[in-house]
């Protein structure tokens, strides 16, 4: 599932950036979902993907930088693509 692979890469970039900027709580939110995707693989529950596809507002509450917002947009867009290809 190529879309899931893209989502994982986007999550890795965002988690790394958030951790590097000291935004540990936000990074943890995405790390938990990342680990769940690893755990379930291609059988990842739709709820996890739904959560990632609708978390764009988090950038306002966690005071994301422009780069972090851009990386979050990638995560959300990749999650939407995965969601649209799920059975």
Average pLDDT over every residue of 28-49: 96
% residues pLDDT > 90 (the chain):
90
In angstroms, the Cα distances linking 47 to 26, 51, 76, 82, 87 are 19, 6, 14, 12, 13
Confidence tier at 61 by pLDDT (50, 70, 90) = confident
Distance in angstroms (rounded) separating the CA atoms of residues 39 and 24: 22
Cβ partners under 8 Å of residue 13, min gap 6: 71, 74
Count of all residues that appear for the chain in the document: 87
CA contacts within 13 A on the Cβ side of 12: 7
Confidence tier at 15 by pLDDT (50, 70, 90) = very high
pLDDT tops 80 at residue 1: no
Confidence tier at 80 by pLDDT (50, 70, 90) = very high
């Amino acid at each position: 599932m190529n879309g899931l692979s893209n989502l994982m890469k986007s999550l890795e970039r965002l988690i790394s950036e958030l951790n590097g900027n000291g935004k540990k709580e936000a990074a943890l939110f995405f790390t938990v979902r990342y680990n769940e995707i690893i755990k379930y693989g291609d059988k990842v529950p739709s709820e996890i993907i739904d959560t990632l596809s609708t978390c764009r507002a988090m950038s306002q509450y966690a005071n994301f930088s422009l780069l972090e917002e851009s990386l979050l947009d990638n995560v959300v867009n990749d999650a939407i693509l995965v969601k649209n290809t799920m059975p």
